[in-house]
Amino acid sequence: DAGVIQSPRHEVTEMGQEVTLRCKPISGHDYLFWYRQTMMRGLELLIYFNNNVPIDDSGMPEDRFSAKMPNASFSTLKIQPSEPRDSAVYFCASSSLGQEQYFGPGTRLTVT
Amino acid sequence: QKEVEQNSGPLSVPEGAIASLNCTYSDRGSQSFFWYRQYSGKSPELIMFIYSNGDKEDGRFTAQLNKASQYVSLLIRDSQPSDSATYLCAVNLRSNYQLIWGAGTKLIIKP
């Protein structure tokens, strides 16, 4: 079984540019979570979806961040414009019935 | 403020010994409890989950839950150098499906 797939694995961009991170959850999972991890703040939940509908986006740091899930097999997290403080590892995770979460390999974002 | 607390470590354990990792949580409404292992530069990997008071064993791993005292622990028997990683405790609240995460304990198994 394929796990959670994320792309790109690494992204280096300049401040002010738009960044789009992509995620394909495990087939059949109905929950999808976007996290950000830094040394200083640990693992932070940004937003999660249930059946493609955003349920809680209170963790999204500001309006520069947006997330969509147009169908059950695809989600995007967009940052526009990007800033150096957005540099982090972004993880996507999925689960069935909201229980055990399975993580993708992550996208390491560096904003210069 | 719902919190999950872990000792950041590092916790150093000799190879072959039992490693004991602890986690406390503040919300008595917590329903499900998870242990994840994260190697440096990798993503969190689920290794154990527990829902009921008591012990749950899976190979060399045992999760222990005590809801009255609001703690959950992970024991690793016959520790191996490959167990060296950061272990994250996560708690699922009754009210929603979010996991509240601890900051993690760094475990070092010394050969």
For A9-13, A38-42, A94-98, which range has the lowest pLDDT when averaged over its residues?
Answer: A94-98
Interval A76-84 mean pLDDT: 97
Q: Which residue of A has its CA nearest to B47?
A: A100
Q: Which residue of B has its CA nearest to A43?
A: B101
Interval A40-62 mean pLDDT: 93
How many angstroms away from the CA of B72 is the closest CA of chain A?
16
Look at A43 and B101 and tell me if their CB atoms are within 8 Å. Answer: yes
pLDDT of residue A55 exceeding 80? yes
**Helix, coil or strand: residue B109:** strand
Beta bridge partners, A35, equal: A45, A91
pLDDT tens digit sequence for B41-100: 999 999 999 998 999 999 999 999 999 999 999 999 999 999 999 999 999 876 667 889
Which residues of B fall within a CB distance of 8 Å from A56?
96, 98
Report the amino acid identity of residue B7: N
User: Which of B46, B88, B98 is the mutation pick for testing A, counting most A CBs within 10 A?
Assistant: B98
